[in-house]
Structure 1
Amino acid sequence: MKWTVKDVAVYLQEKEYVDTAVIPLVPLALEKNVKSIVSGGEFVQMIVSELERQFKGRVFLFPPFTYFVSESMEEKMKRITDWTSELTANGMKHIFYVTSDTEWKAREADLPGALLWLPSLPLEHMDEKYKQQIVTDQTSQLMNLLVAKWS
């Protein structure tokens, strides 16, 4: 399920079956390394969209948790903890954060949910067929991780 009126209506009816939140962690910047930062965020968004499609009805894909790269990690940790507390208070048993930002990897143990880190791949010049194959392969790996955490 996605953060849309249509999917939220279904969620409200089927709430007891939807226990997993997926939150893309997407950095923002307008100066240094902006193209690679945007590319990483775009890649993560493609992956989580496919993940949601594969697990529709079990996974709720939330809007991205966006942050400026200049923001301190303490500020980001406080905000992600607040998000997670709100979601768990409302019935989400499993919280997954998906990112290609290596800064989160260093704080993985401090996160209140599970971090799914992906290496960012520059997709802008790739053939569409090859790009889709990479997204499918990466999503398949994440699906296995989610299933393992649910067990």
Structure 2
Amino acid sequence: MNWNGKEVELYLKEKKYIDTAIIPLLPVGLEEEMKTFAGQGEFISLLSMHLEHQFKGRLMLFPAFTYLKTEEKVSAEKRLSEWRTAMKDSGFKYVFFLTSDSDWRFNDQELERSLMWIPSIPLDSMDEKYKHSIMEDQVKQLLNVIVKKWQVES
């Protein structure tokens, strides 16, 4: 389910079946690496949409957690922990963070177990058909990770 009025309304009716939250983590930088961060954001956003499509009815895709690359790591981790706590308190049994930013390493083990890191693939010059084919391949890899986490934490 996506974060929009129609699907949130459906979520509220079917809440007991939707136990997983996916939150993309997107870095923002305004210097030389801006293009790199924009590419990571494009990749993770597209991957998240494909993942949501695969698990429609089982998970909710939330808006991205955006952060400045210059933000203090402790501050970003604290904010993210608050998101995770809010999701858990509202009934999501599983909360996953999806990122291509290799700097995400947590001191908090709960956050670490929720993290799914996948290296980004530059999409800016790819044909749309090929782009979606690559996304399907990436989703297949994540399917195994998510299902394993569901089984371990059940």
TM-score under structure 2 normalisation? Answer: 0.93
- Please list every run of at least 4 consecutive aligned residues from structure 1 whose deviation after the TM superposition is greater than 6 angstroms: none
1:22 aligns with 2:22: yes
The equivalences for 1:27-38 within 5 A come to 27-38=27-38
Distance of 1:111 and 1:34 partners within structure 2:
30
Q: Residues 89-139 of structure 1: CA distance to partner in whole angstroms, max 9, x if unpaired?
A: 0101101000000011x3275453511111111111122222111111001
Structure 1 gaps of 5+ residues are none
8 A Cα contact 1:77 1:111, kept in partner: no
Unaligned 5+ segments in structure 2 are none
* 1:4-23 matched pairs, under 5 angstroms: 4-23=4-23
Indicate the SS of the match to 1:22.
Answer: strand
Partner of 2:56: helix, strand, or coil? coil
Distance 2:47 2:108 in 1: 23
Question: Contact conserved, 1:22 with 1:62, CA < 8 A, in 2?
Answer: yes
The 2-side partners of 1:109 and 1:87 are apart by 17
Tell me what 1:41 maps to.
41
Distance 1:10 1:3, change over 3 A: same
CA 1:110/1:76 → structure 2, altered by over 3 Å: closer, same or farther?
farther
Q: In structure 2, the residue corresponding to 1:26 is in which secondary structure?
A: strand
Give the distance between the partners of 1:110 and 1:75, measured in 2 at CA.
16
Task: State the partner residue of 1:120.
Answer: 120
1:58 paired residue number? 58
1:63–1:2 distance in 2 versus 1, CA, 3 Å: same
Question: How many residues get paired?
Answer: 150
Q: Percent identity?
A: 45
